[in-house]
Structure 1
Amino acid sequence: MVYQSNIYEYLEHSDSKHLLICKDDKEAKQISDVANLLGYNTFVLPDIRVSVGEDLRAYAEEVQALFIQLAGYAKSKRKKLLVSPVRTLLLPFPKAEFFESMMIEFGESLDIPGLKEKLYQWGYHFTDIAAQKGEVSFRGDIIDIYPITSEKPYRISLFDEEVETIHYYDETSQKRLGDELESLEITPAFLALDKEEHEALRNRCEHSPYDTFVKDIDSLGLWHLDDLAQNAFEMFDAILTANLDEELQEIYELDRPMVERKHFLLPIIPEATKYRDLEVVDPNKLLESHKGKQITILAKNESIVRGSQLSFFENIEFVYQDGIVNILGQERLILSLNKPFKRKKVKKATIILDELKPGDYVVHENHGVGIFRGIEKREVLGATSEFVTIMYQNEDTLLIPVSNLEVIDRYVAEGGALPVLDRMGKASFKKLKEKVKEKLFAIASQIINLSAQRHLKKGIVLKTPEEHALFMSKAGFVHTEDQERAIFEMLEDMQSGRMMDRLLSADVGFGKTEVAMNGIFVAVKNGYQAMMIAPTTLLSAQHYKSLKERFYGEEISVAKLDRFSTTKEKNSVLKGLAEGSIDVVVGTHALLKAKFKSLALVVIDEEHKFGVKQKEALKEMSIDVHLLSMSATPIPRSLNMALSQVKSFSEILTPPTERQGVRTFVKSYDDKVIKEAILRELRRGGQIFYVFNSIAGIEEKKKQLLDILPKLRIAVLHSKISAKETEDEMLKFEDGEYDVLLSTSIVESGIHMPHANTMIVDGADSFGIADLHQLRGRVGRGGKEGYCYFMVTDKERLTDNAKRRLLALETHSDLGSGAVLAFHDLEIRGGGNIIGEAQSGHIKQIGYSLYLRMLEDAIKELSGQDKEVSQQIDMKLSIQAYLNEELIEEDRLRLELYRRLSLCESAGEVYEIEAEIADRFGKPDTVTRQFIDVMVMKVLARQQGISKVSSYGENVFMEFAEEGKERVVLKARSKDDDDIIATAMNYLKQNSENI
C-alpha cells in the first residue's frame, strides 16, 4: 500500500529525475496527485499487465497511452517525474528519438505522396472515415487525421497542395467544429520510424514465433523492436514507492525473459517522519484543531470551495487543481475537497458504420425480404441515376431509385436467424404485413389503455425523507451522473401525485438495482410496502442478496419468495405481507398471488421475459401503485419518443467507476491456448464461461476439455435442458461448485456473475457481431479485468468481412464500445423486448426494423400524436442527379448518405446533410447538387400531398395523392437540367409558402 505522506516527504527534498515504481493504476494516481501538488510535471504510465508475445491489439489503448506519456516525459524541460506500475516496466521502452512529431501549418504546401508514405511508416491506418485515434483518410482535397495525442481529429482542406483551412471535427457526426486553426501537430500512431526501420519491423512481425490472429505491427510490434528499444531500468533512475515483494515474486514466477532479477533490487522510499496520511470525515473539525498550521486546500475550482461550507482562516492557501491529497504534518495540513474521478459516459455512434453490405438481407416495405446486391448506375429516359439493386426469389431483381431508400430496412432477427426470400409481385407479403399490423394495434392499444387507466388514478404521494441523502452516501461507491439522474427522476414521479410508470434501461452491471433500491427505501420510509419481481430464481436470488446488504441497519425487513421457499416459509411471507410486518419482498412469479397491506411500489426486472399470463397478473397488481420496469437492452430512440407520451424513461449509459473493460483476443483454435486461458483464470480464483453453439456436439466438447484438464469441474447447459435444471446448475456455478460453465449461447443475459471473468467463444466466426459483443459483456463484471477469447477454426478460410469484424471487436474492448459496432442490432432488439417474446414469429418474417417502424406508427396513431401519412413520392425527373462517386468514392458511404437523405422530413435537414458533404468530401459538383435539389423537392412534395414529380422534354408534371385532383403541367425554358429543376422547385417553394 502506498502512503502519500511518504511520497510527499521524499519528493519535497528530491531534485533528481526519478522513476517511481508502484503496484497499480490506483497507486499511480495517488502518487501523481502528490507530485502535481509539489509542482512536478508528472507523467503516469498505464498499468499494462501483458505476457510476452501476447496479442497487443487487445491493449491498443494502453500502448498508445504509454507512448504518449513517454514522449511527453522525453520532451518536457521542467522538473519532471515518471510514475509507473511495476508490470508496465516489463515492456520494451522505445528510445526517445522515435517520439518525434511534425507540424502542418496554414498556407503550407504539402507533398501528398510523401506525407502518405510517412504516415504509413508512423503506424497510421488508412480508412474511409477517420473516427478512431491513429486513423487517417485522404479524400480528394480533404485529409482527415486523428493523432493519438489529440482530443479531437483534424480536417485539412487543400487547394491543390496548399493547406487552405485546418479545423477540428467531431468523430461521431463527422462535422467540423469551431474556428479555423493555425497549425496542427502530428505525432506517430506507433513510432516515428523511417522506411528501412518500418520494413524491418514489419518483416520481423510477419515471421514472429508468437501466435496471434494477424501477424502485424499492431499485434506484435512492441515485442520485436530489438535495437529500437531499451530496458526501462537502464533509461531511468528508479525507486520503489512501497514494498512490492508479492508482486515481484509473481513476476519471477511468470519467468519474464526481458527482466533480470537484479533490476528489482531497488531502494524503497523511506517512511515519513514529519507527515502522516489522513482519513477526512469532517474537514471543519480538522481545520479548527489545526488552525495554527500552514493549511493548503486542494480543489478543482472555486465553486467546489463555495459549496463546501468550510470555516475560513487567514493562513489558508487554495490550490485549484485536480487530485486528492490528505496529509497532516507538524507544521502543515493539506486537505482535498475533490471527489474521486468519475467515468466518462459511453458515446453512442451516430454514424452506423458497416450498415449495409452486398449480400445482406433487406426488407422492402411492399415486396418483403430480398438480398442487397449493391448500387449501380442506369440510364433512364436519357438521364443517369443510381439505383439500389435487390434480388428476390428466382433471381428476380428490383431496382430502387436512390431517392427512395426509405422503403428498405436492414433485416435483423433474433440470434441472426436467416429469412426466407420473398417472391416479387406476390400478394403474400402484403397479407403478412396486414396481419402483423392488426397484432401491433392490439399491443399498442393495450400499452395505451393501461397507461390511460393509470393516468386517471391519483398516485400515492411518497415524499423523499431527509435520511435519503445518507442512504445514498452509504452505497459504497460513487454514483454515476446517469444513476443520480435516474434516481431523482424516479423520486420526482413518486411524489408528484401521479402514478409512476417508468422504464429504466441500462446494461447489466451499470447499476439499475441501485436505482430501484432508492425507490424502495423511499416507499418503505413513507410507511408503505414494495415488491421486486424477476423472471428467474437466480436473478431474484441475486436481487435479494443485494437488498439485504444494502438495507442492513436501515430497519427495513426484506423477505424472498421463490420455488426454493418451503411451504412454511411461503405461508409465513404471505402472512407477513398481508399484515404489513414485511416491508419488501423479492421473488419470481410466485409473488403474483400475494396480498399486501399497503403496497406502493412494484419493480419488475426484465419484464419481457415473463409469460403472457404472468404479464396480465403483473398488470393487475401494478394498476394502482407506482411501477418501475427495468431492462438490460437499449431502447431505440424513435420508439422511446413514441412511448414517451405513455411512459417515462431513464437510461444509464455510464459504466460504474470500478468496472473494467474486457481484453479481447482472436485466436485460431488450439488446445494450448484453451488450457492457458482456463489456467490463467483459475490461478486468480475465478470461473470460466465456455460458449459452444452446438447441442449435438456439446458432450463431445466436454470430453475434449477434460482431456486437456482432467480435474476441471464442468457444468453443461443448453436449451434442451429444463428451466428448473438450468437454474439449479446456474446457482451451483454461482456458488463456486463448478469451474467452467459450458453452454450454447444461452448464457443468461441478465445475470451478474462477478467470479466468472474469462469467456471462451468456440467458433466465433459463426456469430453476429452484436451477439459476440453481448456475450463478451458477461465477463469483467466485478472489479477484476475480464478476458474474452474468440476462437476461429480456420483463419485462412475466413472472409475479409468476418476478419474485419473480429479484429474490430479485439481493438474495441473498452466498455460500451459496442456502441459503434453492435448498438444498432441491440437497439433494434430492445424494441422487440418491449412487446414481448410472443411476437418473435412475426418479427422473424418481416425483420425487426420494419416491425418497429410499424409499432411506432401504431402507437402514434392510437395515442393521437401527429402522424404524417408518409406516402411514397415518385421522383422521375429526367435529369442527371446522384451522389458522384468521384466526390464520395466508397459505395457504403454514399449508401449511408442516400439513406439519411431519403429519411429527411424537412428541407433544412437536407441542406444540413449537403453542408456535411461539403465539409467531409469537398465542394459538391453539379450532379451531386442536383440530387440534393431532388431530395428538397421530395420533402416539399410530401408536405403538399404530391405523389409524383416527373418530366418529359421541357414539360414538368405534378400528380397528387388525393383522388380527383388534376395534375399540374409546367413548362420549363428548355429541357436542360437546371431549367427543369428551377421550374419544379419554384412551383413547390411558392406552394409551400402558401400552405
Structure 2
Amino acid sequence: MIQSSLYHALKNPFPYQILITQDDKESYLASEVARFRGFETILFPDFRAQKGDDLRSYKEELLALLGALRKWYRAPKERLLLIAPLRSLLHPLPKEELLQSFHLGFGDNLDIGELKERFYRFGYEFVEIIELPGEVSFRGDIIDVFPPQESSPVRLSLFDTQIESLRYFDLETQMCEREELDRIEITPALFALDEATQKELEELVSASSYGAFSKDLMSLGLWYLKDKGEVLPRRVPSILTAGAKEELLELLELQESDELRFLEGLNLLATPLEHSDIIISPANFLSFLSLHANKEITIIARNEALFRAFDLKEIPCKKQIGDFCVNLLTPKEVILSLNQNTKKSAKKRRPTFAIDELRVGDYVVHKDYGIGIFKGIIQERVLGALRDFILLAYQGEDRLLLPVENLDYIDRYVADSGSIPSVDRLGKGSFAKLKEKIRTKLLEIASEIVALAAKRELIEGRAIRTDFPEIEIFQHSSGFVYTSDQEKSIREIFSDLEGGKVMDRLLSGDVGFGKTEVAMNAILATVMSGYQAALVAPTTLLAHQHFQSLKKRFEGRGIKMARLDRFLSSKERTSLLNALKEGEVDVVVGTHAILSAVFKRLALIIVDEEHKFGVKQKERIKAIAQDVHMLSMSATPIPRTLNMALSSIKGMSTLLTPPSEKLPVRTFVKEYQEALLKEIVHREIRRGGQIFYIHNNIATIERRQKELLELMPNLKIAILHSQIPEKETEEIMLAFEEGRYHLLLSTSIIESGIHLPNANTIIIDSSDRFGIADLHQLRGRVGRGSKEGFCYFLVEEKESLTPEAKKRLLALESNSFLGSGSVLAYHDLEIRGGGNLLGEAQSGHIKGIGYALYLKMLEEAIHSLSSKALPKREDVDLKLSINAFLSPELIESDRLRLELYRRLSRCESTQEVNEIEVEIHDRFGSPDLYTKQFLELILIKVLASLQGIKTITNYNQNITFFYRDETKKSFSAKSRDDDDLLAAILEQLQGKSA
C-alpha cells in the first residue's frame, strides 16, 4: 500500500523531510511516487549492520549510504525527500564535516607524501591493483584511485609532480579510456578526518571490546563517532510507513533498546480507505481499464512506442511520458505504468582481471622436472648479462633457475584438498617416466571419449518438438526472470533435441545458478513430445531435492511423476518398475536404481554430478545413453581450455551469471569467543534458519559437540564426517533438511553438492588452516535461497597468524563476490572441475603431476585423436648476453611483475606482445631500457618459435640460430652492445617472416 498511501499524503502540504520505510523494495516504490509528484528523492540503501559488526562485511552498502548522505547534506531541501529503510537510520551517521571532499585537476602540482597521508585519512585502502571503490594505488608516475561516487576508477599520470593526464580506466582490462578529464572530486572512502580526529578515533577503535578481526577505522569506525555523528530522525521531521513500524516493533521486542524508543513517537503514514496498490498483467490491462472507465485514468510510459503497443483509442485517459513505475487505484483515479520495474540491481560485476598469483612457498609443477617449491624472483648475471629468473627448490639441495620468459613451463600445483605432494629430485628422469605412463593412460581415456562421441554421431536421435506454447507458459510461471546464460543454454539444448542426432551435452554452473530450471525445460519438451525422461542423482538426498523441485514446478501440468530410491518398499518398487515399462510414468527421479529400469519410450536422461557415480554405474549410464538424449549437469566450473577441447566432440553449456535475486554471502572473520558463538547461532535460529558448523577434525568433533551443548543446552546437533556410513549420512542429511536439527556439526565433507536453502549461516573453526579455495567453496553452502547468508571464519589466536594469512582472510571478508581475494579460489575450483569430469580413478595420476599439467596433457590427447589437432608451440632456448627484465623501478610489485612475466611467456603472436607493451605504458608509465629490451626478447622468442628455431646464442657480436632440423645459421651484429644484438636478431627474424 506504500504507493497509494504516499500519493494521497503528497496531495497535501508534506512537512516531512525523511520517509522511513521497511526495506529497499518499499523505498523504491515510494521513490517512484514521490518523483511522479514532482519531488527530488535521495535513497539510502538497506544498511543492516548491527552495532559492533565488522563494517568490512558491509562495505558496499556503507559506501552507498555515505554517498547518499553527502548528497542529502548538499542538496537544497525544497521538495526533497530522503527515503530510507528503518535499519539505515538506527545508528549515528557522520555529520557533514566528516564527508567533505577535495579535487585533483589537470596541471596541479602534488606533494606525493602529503597526498598519500590525505588518502589514508580519507579511509582509502592502498593496493597494487584497483578493483573496488575506496581503493588507491601509487606506482611511480601513475596514481590510480576509485572514489566511491564514481562508476569507474581514474588514472592520474604525472610529469615529475605535476598531473598531466586524468582518465577513467576499465576494471576488467585495467586500460584507460581516451577521453581526458579536467578534474575529479575525491570523496572519502570512509570519513574526511583531520590528524587530531583520526588519532582520537583510532585510539577508541583499538581499545574496542567488539570482536572484529581487524580493529581499524574501516572495520569499526562508525560505532565511535560520538559528537561527530547524529541519528537523523532525532533532528529532521520524519514519518514511518506501516511496514517500517512493524519492523521497529519486532526490533524492540528482540533488542529491548531504549535508544530506539523515540521512533515509536513518530507519525505513521496513513493508508486511506479504498486506496490500493495494484499489479496488472498486460493480458488484463484493457479489461481492467474498462471496469474503471468512470475514473480519471493516467497512463505512464517512457516513450511513445510503448503507448502504441497498447490500443488505448477506446479508453479516455491522460498520457504522460516519464520513467516512473507507479500503479495505484483510488476512489477517483487510476494510475498505471507501462514501464517495467526500473530498479537497478545493486550487484557489481566481478572484475575479470584476475591475478593467478604465485606465492613464495607454493608447490609448482615444471613440465619437464616435476614438482618443486617456488622461491620467488631473483636477479642473476649470466653470460655477462643481468636477467631475472624464477628460483625453484627441489629435493635435497637441488635448485633450478628458470628464465622468466619461460614462466609458462610451470603451473601452481593443485590436487585434491589437503594432499601434500612429494618434491621431485632433479636429473633422475623419474618425472619423465611418470609423464609417459600418464600420457599412455590419457590416450586410452581420450580415445574412449572420441570413440563414444563418433559412435553417437551415427545414431539417429528421437526428434523432440520444442515449440509447444506450454513451454513458454512454463517459463513465465517460474516466478523469476531467466538469466541470459539460462536462455542461451535452453536454446542450445533445444537445438540438439530437435536436430535428429543423439544429444550429448554438459551443463555446468554453480549451485543456485539455475541448472535444474534449464533441465526442466528439456524434460517438459520431451514429455510433451510423448516420451519419457529420467533424472539420476548420486545420492538419495540430491534425488529427493530434485524430485521436490520438479514436483513443485510441474504441478497441474498433467505430468505423471515418480521417484525411485531405497526408501521405496519392494512392493512399491516393483509397481513403479512395471509402470515405467508400460509407459504409465512420464518422469522418474532417483538414484542409480533407475539405471536398472526398463522404459517403454525413454528419450532423455539427465545425470547430475556424474563424476560422483561408481565405475559400474558410469558404464550403465553409457550403455543407456547410447541411443537416448543425455544431459549431464555439473556444479564445478570447467576450465576454459578443456571446455574448448571437449566442445569439439561434446556439447557444452555454461551458466556464469547468478540469478538477479541471489544475494552475496555476508562474510566475517572473527576471533573465537563463546559469547560470539551464542549470538551467531541464536540470530540464525530466531529467523527460522539452520547452521552449518565446520570442525575439520574427526578425532575432536564429539568434544566440540559437548562444548556447544554446554554453551547452548537446547541446541539440536547432528554430526557428520567421512567415517559415518553412507546410508546413515543420507538419513542425517534428510533429517537436517526436514528441520529436525538446528546445527550440523561437520567436517568439510559438506563442501559440495548439497542444496539446503534453509541453512544460511556457516561457522568455520580454525579457518586459517584451510586453503582459500576451500573457504570460498564452504562459504558457497549458504545463501542459496532468498534469505541472506552469513559466513563466519573463526580463528583461535589472531596474533599467531602470519601477515599473509591475515591478508587473505580479510580479502575474503571484504569480497563476498568472486573478486580479488576469491579469484584464486575460483581458479582452483575450475581446475578441480576438470578433474571431476574424469572421475576418481584418475586421482592417483593427478596427484603425481597436479591438475593443471594433467589437463594440458588430456587436451593434447583429445586433440591428437580428433580431427582438430592442436598447433604445437615449440620451445625456444635463448642463450643471449643481453640485460633484459621488467624493471622493479617501473613495476615495484613482485606480484605484478610475475603476472606480466607469466602473460608474456604465454604470448603466441607479436600482436599479443605489442598489446602488453601498450598496457605496461598505460598502467606503469613509459617502459625503461631494460623493460623495452625484455619485450624485444619475447618478440624474438615468438618469431623464432614460428620459424622452427630451437636455440639462439651469441658470442660477442656473433649470433647463431640452431634449427629443429639440425641446420644452423650464423651472422653478426654491428657490435656486442645489447641494442645492436637485439636489432640484428629481429632484422633476421622479421625479414624471414615478412
Q: Please give the TM-score of this superposition, normalised by the length of structure 2.
A: 0.96
Aligned residue identity for 1:138: F
CA contact (8 A) 2:20 2:244 kept: no
What secondary structure sits across from 1:414 in the alignment? coil
Name the counterpart of 1:62: 61
Structure 2 CA distance for partners of 1:295 and 1:970, relative to 1, 3 Å: farther
8 Å CA contact retained: 1:327, 1:335: no
**CA–CA separation in structure 2 for the residues paired with 1:849 and 1:477:** 38
Residues in 2 aligned to 1:248 and 1:824: alpha-carbon distance in whole angstroms: 44
Paired amino acid for 1:480: T
Contact 2:328 2:334 (8 Å CA) reproduced: no
Counterpart of 2:904 (choices 898, 901, 904) is 901
Going from structure 1 to structure 2, the CA distance change for 1:799 and 1:506 (only over 3 Å counts) comes to: same
Range with greater deviation from structure 2 (295-304 or 663-672): 295-304
**In the alignment, which of 830, 835, 841 is matched to residue 832 of structure 1?**
835
Letter in 2 for 1:109: N
The one of 443, 446, 449 aligned to 1:447 = 449
* Matched positions, count: 990
Instruction: Pick one of 957, 977, 981 that aligns with 1:954.
Output: 957
Structure 1's 391 and 264: CA in aligned 2 closer, same or farther, altered over 3 A?
same
- What is the aligned partner in structure 2 of residue 18 from structure 1? 17
**Cα distance, 1:301–1:648 mapped onto 2, change above 3 Å:** farther
Unaligned runs of 5+ in 1: none
Structure 2 match to 1:42: 41
- Segments of structure 2 that go 5 or more residues without pairing to the other structure are none
Aligned-pair identity (%): 51
Q: Is the 8 A contact 2:327 2:335 kept in 1?
A: no
Quick check: 1:220 aligned with 2:223? no
The match for 1:861 is 864
Distance 1:693 1:274 in 2: 59
Q: Structure 1: how far apart are the matches of 2:54 and 2:807?
A: 16
Q: Is the 8 A contact 1:561 1:588 kept in 2?
A: yes
Question: 1:429-473, CA deviations, whole angstroms, 9 ceiling, x for partnerless residues?
Answer: 111111111222222222221111122222322122122111111
- Partner amino acid, structure 2, of 1:118: R
Structure 2 equivalent of residue 205 of structure 1: 205
**Segment drifting more, 619-628 vs 331-340:** 331-340
- For the 8 Å contact 1:324–1:339, the answer to whether it is kept is no
Note closer, same or farther for the CA distance 1:563–1:178 as it changes in structure 2 (3 Å cut).
farther
Give the aligned partner of residue 414 of structure 2: 412
- CA distances 1:730-766 after superposition (whole Å, capped 9, x unpaired): 0111111111111110015111111111111111000
Equivalents in 1 of 2:347, 2:953: separation in Å?
48
SS at match of 1:431: helix
Which stretch has the larger CA shift, 491-500 or 698-707?
Answer: 491-500
Structure 1 partner of 2:263: 263
CA distance in 2, matches of 1:967, 1:292: 96
SS in 2 for 1:820: helix
Residue 452 of structure 2 aligns with an amino acid whose one-letter code is L
Deviations 1:359-385 (A, max 9, x none): 111110111111100101111111110
After superposition, the C-alpha distances for 1:164-204 in whole angstroms (9 at most, x for unaligned) are: 11111112221113422222221110011112111211121
Of 545, 550, 563, the residue aligned with 1:560 is: 563
Q: Find the counterpart in structure 1 of residue 766 from structure 2.
A: 763
Check conservation: 1:377, 1:386, Cα contact below 8 A. yes
1:662 touches 1:815 (CA, 8 Å); kept in 2?
Answer: no
Aligned twin of 2:181: 181
Distance verdict in 2 for CA 1:160–1:720, change over 3 Å = same
Equivalent position of 1:426 in the other structure = 428
Give the equivalent residue in structure 2 for 1:286. Answer: 288
Post-superposition offset of 1:250: 2.7
How far 1:305 moved relative to its partner? 5.7
Of 100-109 and 602-611, the range deviating more from structure 2 = 100-109
CA distance in 2, matches of 1:817, 1:319: 43
Map of 2:251 onto structure 1 = 251
**1:922-937 to 2 correspondences below 5 Å:** 922-937=925-940
Instruction: Classify the secondary structure of the residue corresponding to 2:143.
Output: strand
Q: Deviation per CA, 1:114-161: give whole Å up to 9, x if none.
A: 221111110001111111111101111111001111111111111122
Does the CA-based 8 Å contact 1:213-1:668 persist in structure 2?
Answer: yes
Superposed displacement of residue 782, structure 1: 1.8
SS at structure 2 position matched to 1:847: helix
Q: Which moved more, 1:434-443 or 1:332-341?
A: 332-341
Contact in 1 for aligned 2:533/2:602 (Cα 8 Å): yes
> Aligned AA for 2:485?
D
493-502 or 631-640: bigger deviation: 493-502
Rounded Cα–Cα distance in structure 2 between residues aligned with 1:64 and 1:530: 50
Q: Which residue of 1 aligns with 2:495?
A: 492
2:829 counterpart SS class? helix
Contact 1:362-1:371 at 8 Å conserved across structures: yes
Greater alpha carbon shift after TM alignment, 889-898 vs 42-51? 42-51
Question: Which residue number corresponds to residue 389 of structure 1?
Answer: 391
1:701 to 699, 704, 707: 704
Partner of residue 359, structure 1: 361
1:852 matched to 2:855? The reply is yes
Secondary structure at the aligned position of 1:697 is classed as: helix
Other-structure match for 2:748: 745
Kept in 2, the 8 Å contact 1:240–1:267? The answer is yes
CA contact (8 A) 2:275 2:328 kept: no
Residue pair 1:403, 1:875 contacting (<8 A) in 2 also: no
Q: CA deviation at 1:299?
A: 4.4
SS at match of 1:581: coil
Q: Measure the CA separation in 1 of the matches of 2:431 and 2:487.
A: 47
Q: Which amino acid aligns with 2:570?
A: T
Q: CA RMSD in A?
A: 2.0
- Equivalent residue of 1:174, what SS? coil
Return the letter of the residue paired with 1:420: S
Distance in structure 1 (CA, Å) of the matches to 2:211 and 2:521: 49
CA apart distance, 1:85: 1.3
Contact 1:667–1:789 (Cα < 8 Å) also in 2: yes
Task: Give the drift of 1:309.
Answer: 7.2
Q: Contact 2:28 / 2:343 at 8 angstroms: preserved in 1?
A: no
Q: Matches of 2:339 and 2:588 in 1, distance apart? A: 39
Which of 584, 592, 598 does residue 601 from structure 2 map onto? Answer: 598
Q: Are residues 845 and 328 of structure 1, via their aligned partners in 2, closer, same or farther at CA, if it must alter by over 3 Å?
A: farther
1:191 — aligned with what? Answer: 191
TM-score, length-normalised on structure 1? 0.96
CA contact (8 A) 2:450 2:865 kept: yes
Aligned equivalents of 1:750, 1:863: Cα separation in 2: 32
Instruction: Check if 1:978 corresponds to 2:979.
Output: yes
TM-superposed CA distance for 1:254, in Å, is 4.0
Would you say the 8 A contact 1:758–1:786 is kept in 2? yes
* Distance (Å, rounded) in 1 between the aligned partners of 2:655 and 2:935: 38
CA distance in 2: counterparts of 1:815 and 1:292, whole angstroms: 54
2:623 is aligned to 620
Does residue 923 of structure 2 align to residue 920 of structure 1? yes
Does the Cα contact within 8 Å between 1:305 and 1:337 map onto a contact in 2? no
Q: Secondary structure at the match of 1:394?
A: coil
Tell whether 2:74 aligns with 1:71: no
The CA distance in 2 between the partners of 1:804 and 1:207, in whole Å, is 22
1:188-246 CA-to-partner distances (Å, cap 9, x unmatched) read 10011112111211121111121211110011000001111011222421101115454
Change (3 A) 1:302 1:590: farther
Aligned pairs for 1:223-238 within 5 A: 223-238=223-238
Contact 2:879 2:954 in 1 (8 A): yes
Tell me the residue number matched to 2:794.
Answer: 791
1:504 equivalent among 502, 507, 517: 507
Q: Which amino acid aligns with 1:185?
A: E
* 2:831 match: secondary structure: helix
State the alpha-carbon separation in 1 of the partners of residues 345 and 597 from structure 2: 41
* Partner of residue 970, structure 2: 969
Partners of 2:342 and 2:573 in 1: CA distance: 44
The equivalences for 1:635-714 within 5 A come to: 635-714=638-717
Distance 1:305 1:725, change over 3 A: farther
SS of the aligned residue for 1:681 comes to: helix
Do the aligned partners of residues 245 and 132 (structure 1) sit closer, same or farther apart at CA in structure 2, a change above 3 Å counting?
closer
Q: How far does the alpha carbon of each residue in 1:851-906 deviate from its partner, in whole angstroms, 9 at most, with x for none?
A: 11111211222212241222211012211111000000001110000000001111
